[in-house]
Structure 1
């Protein structure tokens, strides 16, 4: 079974790429940054390392998996269905039924089992859009970095979906969208304009709120306070620190990637509204994105044997500055967002 009219939509991040493909096939073209912004996707989260001393904590720049899709679909009035099949046979059968009904199916997978992935680490919180499947082959859309539309052995997909290893596994999780609301298909820009300021307000409230040391800017400041000590506490420090830099830059989960998406969302929002109120926030968030890229450059250039602690102290100072900059941007956004969202209530 393969969807004959399907047209792959490329993207930078796995979940927003998957959601974009599901919604586009259902009848509406919405950009990945817009879906990310409506999904209130930006965040910072600190997850303790499973093996302290040998690995860094998992530091992610977004909200929890699937919550982004729920938020975006709620804003758009789209009915998102999600469930977990009990076993591989049921997962296969349900997927075939959904494809036969004309749905693109989003599935969570462990990248370790995807034969086109170069990573040999388990990461089970990855999403791909499935648009074709039979007993031998699966047709999927992954991120642009992973080649976009790919064909892989059905057995590879089966193992990837069934995995319970790696970060936040959800074996046999699948999601799809029902028929889209008529107004979304006929007057897409109007629907977006009605929802953008509300999504910005909710995001700004969350990002400026005190959510402890695991979520939000408190978590970012916690990471900054600890990172200078990695030179002494992690082994091998060179490999682990550079690995964090590579993860943030290339894995799709790091700070710079999501700051890039949110910056693009603000640009698109400004274009849709013609609202000069957003000009300074577009500029300020562009600077935030640049600072994240600089931090990643510093991490990837880290050499512990060559004044490693000083290098990581510089990284920590830059992360503190980023936290301050993000706090200022979201506090600033909260004022017009509260006013504009109230006008539309």
Structure 2
């Protein structure tokens, strides 16, 4: 079974790409940055390594898996349905049933089992859109970095979906969108304009507030306080520290990638609303994005020794500065959005 009219839409991040493909096939063409913004996707999360000292903590720049899709669909008035099958056979049968009903299906996978992925690391919080499934082959859409539309052995997809290894696994989980509200397909621009300020306000309120030391800017400050000591605290630091930098830059979960998406969302919000109050905030997130890139460059350049220690100290100062800059930006966003939310569009 393969959706004959499906047209892939490529993106930078796995979940927003998957959601965009599901919505586009259902009849609503919404950009990836807009979905990220309406989904309130930006955050910072600190999760302890399973064996502290042997590996770095998991540090991500977004909210939890599937929460973004739930938020975006709620903002758009779209019914998002999720399910988890008891085993691989039932999971496959559910996908076939949904494809036959005309739906693109979003699934969570462990990248280790995807044939087209070069990574040999188990990471189970990755999303792809399935638009075809036959006796031996599966047709999916991944991020642009991973080649977009891909055809892979059905057995590879089965293993990837059923994996219980890696970061936050969700074996045999899937999602799809039901029929879209008529107004969303008939006047998409009006719906988006109405939802933008509420999404900005709710995101900014969360990010400017105190979320403890595992989420938000408190988590970023915690990470910044620890980075300078990673050379001594982490085993095989000359491999582990650059690995964090590569993960942030290329895996889609890094600070710069999501700050870039959020900046693009604010830029599109400025275009749709015509509100010039967003201009300095768009510029501010551009500056933050560059700071994140500088911090990532420093981590990737780490080679140990005295020079490496100084490199990590510089990275730590930069991450502290980023936290302060983001705090200011989200407070300004909150003040502006609180004024705008609820006003006539």
2:167 maps to 1:167:
yes
2:69 maps to 1:69:
yes
Counterpart residue number, 2:176 = 176
Q: Deviation string for 1:157-201 (max 9, x for gaps)?
A: 000000000000000000000010000001001000000000000
Cα distance in 2, alignment partners of residues 308 and 286 from structure 1? 28
Task: Count the aligned residue pairs.
Answer: 345
Counterpart residue number, 1:96 = 96
Cα distance in 2, alignment partners of residues 340 and 149 from structure 1? 39
Cα distance in 2, alignment partners of residues 138 and 306 from structure 1? 50
Cα distance in 1, alignment partners of residues 143 and 15 from structure 2? 9
SS in 2 for 1:342: coil
SS in 2 for 1:194: helix
SS in 2 for 1:334: helix
Counterpart residue number, 1:297 = 297
Matches within 5 A, 1:182-201: 182-201=182-201
Structure 1 residue 320: Cα displacement? 0.2
Structure 1 stretches of at least 4 aligned residues deviating more than 3 Å after TM superposition: none
Counterpart residue number, 1:323 = 323
Q: Deviation string for 1:6-61 (max 9, x for gaps)?
A: 00000000000000000000001000000000000000000001111110000000
SS in 1 for 2:59: strand
Say which is worse superposed, 334-343 or 198-207, in terms of deviation.
334-343
Counterpart residue number, 2:10 = 10
Structure 1 residue 261: Cα displacement? 0.2
Q: Deviation string for 1:250-270 (max 9, x for gaps)?
A: 000010110010000000000
Counterpart residue number, 2:204 = 204
2:252 maps to 1:252:
yes
Q: TM-score, normalised by structure 2?
A: 0.99
Cα distance in 1, alignment partners of residues 307 and 335 from structure 2? 44
Structure 1: stretches of 5+ with no match in the other structure:
none
2:120 maps to 1:120:
yes
SS in 1 for 2:167: coil
Counterpart residue number, 1:225 = 225
Counterpart residue number, 1:283 = 283
Structure 2: stretches of 5+ with no match in the other structure:
none
Counterpart residue number, 1:146 = 146
